[in-house]
Structure 1
């Protein structure tokens, strides 16, 4: 389904994969989804399209993508080419104290997960050796790593990674010309319209009139470009906003449902549990426990 929360960062300290490869029928065809925490994706091989914040970007080898907490994104890869990538995904609040001895590095670390990034991608990494060595080293250590040593190894890895990554990002931050010329994706007009109307009842007739496309062509075009339906995207966008409100406000669950366009509270809870795996109340409670545990470790 279109909203994926199956990596539970309140249960694991860091999700890591090195040079994971898929091809053909196993090819990674992502759906619109968002995560707790920050995700860094390094593309070693493969070509495709990334959609994030209603804009599209070309996916090519030798690039890195940064997805911020609860940022809705979609990746669709060419099934004719191998898709090889490395991934690191973690809750930034857990690791922030380990960056404190280095104020400039700490400021960059905070910027990457709290500030509005001009672009989510960095192209043409040049020599990837520094990243390969970091990821390979952790991959080799993981099978032998004891539970009590995990946090230390993960924190050392992240400090080293962001130290290597910082000069590359600062050199090209906001420089869209550092990668391929961004081509307007056919679905971008539809996504922009949905961003303005996702909290309202979905009416294809009104959308097709505003965008000057027939309802059939509208649905077909969106599915062809993104691999998911308009209704699935709207559900994903509503859930993204619901999670954001659950984690950043103390609004009642019923009020949050209304804010995302689902006025029936029981239906909102059922929809949330169907896609996230737990109810909104349970989600908020688990997150509060996670923050309390993190605060206890840091104090």
Structure 2
């Protein structure tokens, strides 16, 4: 399981994949994961379930989803139908200054990555009128963009995208508080319980007793609904919290390990490196360098 999917936002200021299509479960294995920057997902075709912040949402064509930095999420799609989507991923701090001339647009740009959103999804988009030509233009232009011109080209793309995105978000903001009739996902009760207990030793017997499900049914139900085991989810949730603490506090690595329920510092460092790719100390140094580079 890869918790943080590294798409190289330090080297490449924007990741863009237009109308990427997969069919079958082997081609798209969804797991609980997060990204370093903002991810915007537009679904053109496909059906399934999205889980983010312990809530589930229907995946359907004509939807747009926003995943904030290091926000744990999971998509499970119907393997029998094509899943076609466009993905935009970027590091917000790289582009914020480019929005400075448009205060209202800047405020919206910052809102998307810093505010608590009422819901991550918009539904019923008419992509032909809204984003299609913009995406096609970048798709055509991208292979020939000179390395020295990337920031300029990508900033112009994001400004144009957010200019179209902002009125849609404002129009739907009242509606998405409730959203379309949301199907209650069977895993939500389990996720809510785990949210309260993920820093504690995982005891399946205690969990099954409190949720009134047998241990076997509990594990089977969670895996069936999410494609991920309970232990893998707990690991991902602990790492998500560890990343937040490494970024926002000066607590020692050992103390952060204890805060997420891993009292053995060596094991915490090994677990972190296994999933993130570097040690907690190296990760903190990397974040500090990025912050200093942004200020510069």
TM-score (norm 2): 0.97
State whether residues 122 and 178 of structure 1, in contact with CA within 8 Å, keep that contact through their aligned partners in structure 2: no
1:20 and 1:241 map into 2 onto residues whose CA distance is: 31
User: Structure 1 residue 179: deviation in Å?
Assistant: 5.0
More moved, 265-274 vs 129-138? 129-138
User: Structure 1 residue 118: deviation in Å?
Assistant: 0.6
1:229 and 1:26 map into 2 onto residues whose CA distance is: 17
2:55 and 2:198 map into 1 onto residues whose CA distance is: 17
More moved, 227-236 vs 4-13? 4-13
CA RMSD of aligned residues (A): 1.3
Correspondence 1:149 to 2:149 = yes
State whether residues 46 and 84 of structure 1, in contact with CA within 8 Å, keep that contact through their aligned partners in structure 2: yes
Alignment of 1:17-96 (within 5 A): 17-96=17-96
User: Structure 1 residue 258: deviation in Å?
Assistant: 0.7
1:294 and 1:39 map into 2 onto residues whose CA distance is: 20
More moved, 137-146 vs 188-197? 137-146
State whether residues 273 and 280 of structure 2, in contact with CA within 8 Å, keep that contact through their aligned partners in structure 1: yes
1:273 and 1:153 map into 2 onto residues whose CA distance is: 34
Q: Where does structure 2 lack aligned partners over 5 or more consecutive residues?
A: none
Q: Where does structure 1 lack aligned partners over 5 or more consecutive residues?
A: none
State whether residues 118 and 174 of structure 1, in contact with CA within 8 Å, keep that contact through their aligned partners in structure 2: no
User: Structure 1 residue 286: deviation in Å?
Assistant: 1.2
More moved, 49-58 vs 168-177? 168-177
User: Structure 1 residue 178: deviation in Å?
Assistant: 7.9
SS of equivalent to 2:32: coil
Q: 1:123 is matched with which residue?
A: 123
- CA pair 210-85 structure 1, distance change in 2 beyond 3 A: same
Q: 1:180 is matched with which residue?
A: 180
User: Structure 1 residue 142: deviation in Å?
Assistant: 1.2
Kindly provide the CA deviation profile for residues 216-236 of structure 1, in whole angstroms up to 9, marking residues without a partner as x: 100000000000000000000
1:115 and 1:180 map into 2 onto residues whose CA distance is: 22
Tell me the number of residue pairs that the alignment of Structure 1 and Structure 2 aligns: 296
Structure 1 consecutive aligned stretches of length 4 or more whose deviation exceeds 3 Å: 176-180
State whether residues 2 and 233 of structure 1, in contact with CA within 8 Å, keep that contact through their aligned partners in structure 2: no
User: Structure 1 residue 180: deviation in Å?
Assistant: 3.2
Correspondence 1:231 to 2:227 = no
User: Structure 1 residue 25: deviation in Å?
Assistant: 4.9
Kindly provide the CA deviation profile for residues 64-110 of structure 1, in whole angstroms up to 9, marking residues without a partner as x: 00000111000000011111100110110110001110111111111
TM-score (norm 1): 0.96
Q: 1:295 is matched with which residue?
A: 295
